[in-house]
Amino acid sequence: MRIKRDDMVYVISGRDRGKIGKVIRVFPAERMVLVERVNMVTRHMKKTREVVEEGIVKKEAPLHVSKVMLLDQKTNRPTRVRIEEKDGAKVRVAVKSGTVFD
C-alpha cells in the first residue's frame, strides 16, 4: 500500500468526499485506512474495563484505500504516487509535482 500512518489524505468518494484528514491506522490485509474525523459512525457502548465511555459514542470507521488519495503538501492537492528508488531506498514520489514523501 502506498499510504502510511501519519499521512495527510483527501477523500475522493463517499459521503465524506472532499474532506482532508490524517491517517491514524492502516489495515494492509483488508486494504483499509482509519482517517481522523472522517467516516464517523455512531456506536452504542456499554461500560466495561476496556471501554471508559458509555452511551452513544461517535468514532471513526475504516475506509477502503481506493477512496483516499495522498495529499501533496507542495500543491495542497490530491496526487497519485509512484515508487522510485533513490540512494538505494524505495521512496514515494508525487506523479505531477515530483515531491518526495519519505
pLDDT digits (tens, 9 = 90+) for 13-64: 999 999 999 999 999 999 999 999 999 999 999 999 888 889 999 999 999 9
How far is 67 from 38, CA to CA, in rounded Å? 12
Domain boundaries, the chain: 8-75
Buried b (16+ CB within 10 A) or exposed e, 66-96: ebbbbbbeeeeebbebeeeeeeeeeebbbee
What per-residue confidence (pLDDT) applies to 5? Answer: 97
pLDDT band at 90 (very low <50, low <70, confident <90, very high): very high
Cβ-contact 39, 7 below 8 angstroms: no
- Say whether pLDDT at 89 is over 90: yes
Grid cell for residue 65: 484505500
Considering the entire predicted model, what is its pTM? 0.90
Mean pLDDT of all residues in 69-96: 95
Q: Supply the CATH classification number for the domain 8-75.
A: 2.30.30.30
CA 96 to chain centre: 20
